[in-house]
Amino acid sequence: MEFTYNLFLTLHFIGLAGLLGGLLAQIPNKPKQLQKLVMHSGLLMLIAGLVMVGINQMMHADDPSVELLDHVKIAIKSTVLIVILALGYLNIKKSELSNKVWGVMTLLATANVVIAVFI
């Protein structure tokens, strides 16, 4: 079960790299465009994160020494990711992405990393 958890953790990190990397790659571009890679990576992060929470719960049920995840932290990170995805899906069909929306999405993606590491 631990291998499966680590596999989904790796997928979660790959999704993070695609999301943040896809957004940061737009820094020099004028006008900015929202790539489908960003949205697919965000969905990968969300699905992998939800699966990791479920696996953690199952591992804790079998072995009480397995540390439970902080559900408040998970809720905050999930909410931030859902806001990023909502902004993305509202702007995916547009020919250009406004600097404000791009900045908010990038800030939220970075905040998600900070929450994961420091809180």
Residues 6 or more apart whose Cβ sits within 8 Å of residue 119:
73, 76
DSSP string, 67-92: PPP-HHHHHHHHHHHHHHHHHHHHHT
Domain, as residue range, for 94: 2-118
Question: What confidence tens digit (pLDDT) does each residue in 10-42 have?
Answer: 999 999 999 999 999 999 999 999 999 999 999
Helix (H, G, I), strand (E, B) or coil at 101: helix
Residues 6 or more apart whose Cβ sits within 8 Å of residue 62:
1
Whether the per-residue pLDDT at 62 is higher than 90: the answer is no
pTM of the model: 0.92
Angstrom distances, CA of residue 89 to CA of 8, 39, 43: 24, 8, 11
Q: Residue 103 is encoded by which pair of tokens?
A: 């900045």
pLDDT of residue 18: 97
Cis peptide before 64 (omega within 30 of 0): no
Number of domains in the chain: 1
